[in-house]
């Protein structure tokens, strides 16, 4: 598993794809938070808070994480090296988890530059340092779990198709449905009392809980289930291809 993780990390940084995605995420985040005229602009909100970033980040990651994960298995299938991997003394679980950890690690690197935004808000606050650190730390923790969930979904999507573009589109679609689609469906109140349970199936419901500074075991458990289920489905998909 560790060997697969190292191999994936070096391949991402070796062809500049990781650097490009990290740069795109950081630049877009900075533009939306400080320059573009929108509801996430910190100067327009007038509050020393990074919560607008934590509301914006999932939408950017929804498109960027599948871009990182799409090559994980789709490229192996396309180039024919997947059969070679099957011949190695590797468990499917080690192969999948190794690639998943690599994508998750790169996703976390994407949010590291946001510490610059955090420092800027800390300094700009009146008085300086007027910042809710509890909510901020909780939001960062939730964002890390969100990245893990998107990474696992992206890995699963990459096992479905041998075409990277198709794997990317499938990944974006599933992430969108899980993050936004389920909650929107629940908001229509078509199922009566069952709408609450439907809402609980969506990622955004549990992710937003962290923004209040509350780290609840049920929200952590939810993310662990989503991650485990996606990786399990990826394992089943690979077993069919062997």
pLDDT tens-digit profile, the chain (242 residues): 788 888 888 888 877 778 888 899 989 888 888 787 777 777 776 666 788 889 999 999 999 999 999 988 888 777 777 777 767 777 888 889 999 999 999 999 999 999 888 888 777 766 666 677 778 888 999 999 999 999 999 999 999 988 999 999 999 999 999 999 888 887 777 666 667 777 788 999 999 888 777 788 999 999 999 999 999 999 999 888 76
pTM (two decimals): 0.92
Check if the beta carbon of residue 47 is closer than 8 Å to that of residue 60: no
Cα 195 to Cα 177, 188, 219, 223: the distances in Å are 16, 8, 18, 20
Q: Per-domain residue ranges for the chain?
A: 2-241
In the chain the first and final C-alpha atoms are separated, in Å, by 19
Closest by alpha carbon to 170, among 57, 65, 81, 19?
65
241 φ/ψ angles, rounded to the nearest 5 degrees = -85, -15
Other beta carbons less than 10 A from residue 156's beta carbon: 28
């Amino acid at each position: 598993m560790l060997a697969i993780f190292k191999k994936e990390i070096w391949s991402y940084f070796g062809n500049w794809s990781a650097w490009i995605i990290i740069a795109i995420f950081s630049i877009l985040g900075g533009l939306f938070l400080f320059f573009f005229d929108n509801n996430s602009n910190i100067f327009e909100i007038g509050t020393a808070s990074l919560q607008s970033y934590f509301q914006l980040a999932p939408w950017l990651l929804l498109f960027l994480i599948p871009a990182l994960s799409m090559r994980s298995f789709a490229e192996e299938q396309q180039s024919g090296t997947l059969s070679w991997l099957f011949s190695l003394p590797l468990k499917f679980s080690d192969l999948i988890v190794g690639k998943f950890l690599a994508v998750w690690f790169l996703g976390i690197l994407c949010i590291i530059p946001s510490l610059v935004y955090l420092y800027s808000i800390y300094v700009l606050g009146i008085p300086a340092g007027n910042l809710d650190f509890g909510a901020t730390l909780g939001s960062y923790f939730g964002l890390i779990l969100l990245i893990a969930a998107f990474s696992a979904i992206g890995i699963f999507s990459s096992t479905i198709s041998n075409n990277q573009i198709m794997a990317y589109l499938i990944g974006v679609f599933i992430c969108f449905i899980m993050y936004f689609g389920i909650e929107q469906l629940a908001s229509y109140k078509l199922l009566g009392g069952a709408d609450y349970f439907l809402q609980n199936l969506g990622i955004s419901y549990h992710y937003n809980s962290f923004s209040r500074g509350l780290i609840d075991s049920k929200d952590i458990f939810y993310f662990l289930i989503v991650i485990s289920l996606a990786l399990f489905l990826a394992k089943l998909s690979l077993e069919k291809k062997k």
